[in-house]
Amino acid sequence: MSDQQARQNLIEIASSLYQRGYATGSAGNISLLLEDNTILATPTGASLGRLQPKELSKLTLSGEHISGNKPSKEVKFHLGLYHNNPSCKAVVHLHSLYLTALSCLSDLNYQNAIKPFTPYVVMRMGDVPVIPYYKPGDIQIATELSKLAANHQAFLLANHGAVTIGNSLQDATNNYEELEETAKLIFILKDQKIKYLTEDEIKELRK
């Protein structure tokens, strides 16, 4: 994918996420890894619904700003994910409604915030660990995500939102959408008795 195609791809996906309510205001940030090992990222303060190709931030993998507008301060943790997971080609971080609501619950299991009751999160992402709360942009978010990057595809940031990665921007976006729908189901089913998947059913999905 050329630089030009990658910019178009990022803008289309960001706009689609915005139009469908996954992102509001100027919240959330998305990045992808280009073939020359540079990063294309959404700029600071920009709405995902109205991005222009030229304003996208271009960075080196070590975080030096090459061109475009200044990147979001949250790009630090994107870099940590690329550095620690060679198959990570894109990062999606949003403050979508249901995942953010889930991230604010006090009794989350920090090893896996989503106890499986449908197959898809297990098949696509496996366990979804929780990063403790730190101020947005705090380097500790990058440090904690870096430690988990090699073995996970999705993460909840406590009292903040969620992060997914993938082997393409479409893949990372599909992971995010699946995760948000699952969080929505958790709240819809809140007062119901859920039939969770059994250990054997989960094992079969992980094969």
Q: Which of 18, 22, 74, 98 is catalytic?
A: 74
Please tell me the distance from the alpha carbon of residue 176 to that of residue 179, in angstroms, as a whole number: 5
Q: Which two three-digit tokens encode residue 96?
A: 């979508």
Tell me if residue 120 is catalytic: yes
Can you spell out the DSSP letters for the chain? --HHHHHHHHHHHHHHHHHTTSS-TT--EEEEE-TTSEEEEPBTT--TTS--GGGSEEEETT--EEESSPBPTTHHHHHHHHHH-TT--EEEEE--HHHHHHHT-TT--SS-SS--SSHHHHHHT----EEPP--TT-HHHHHHHHHHGGG-SEEEETTTEEEEEESSHHHHHHHHHHHHHHHHHHHHTTTS---PPPHHHHHHHH-
Q: Which of 55, 120, 133, 134 is catalytic?
A: 120
Tell me if residue 74 is catalytic: yes
Contact assessment for residue 65 and residue 57, using Cβ atoms and an 8 Å cutoff: yes
What residues are labeled active site? 74, 120
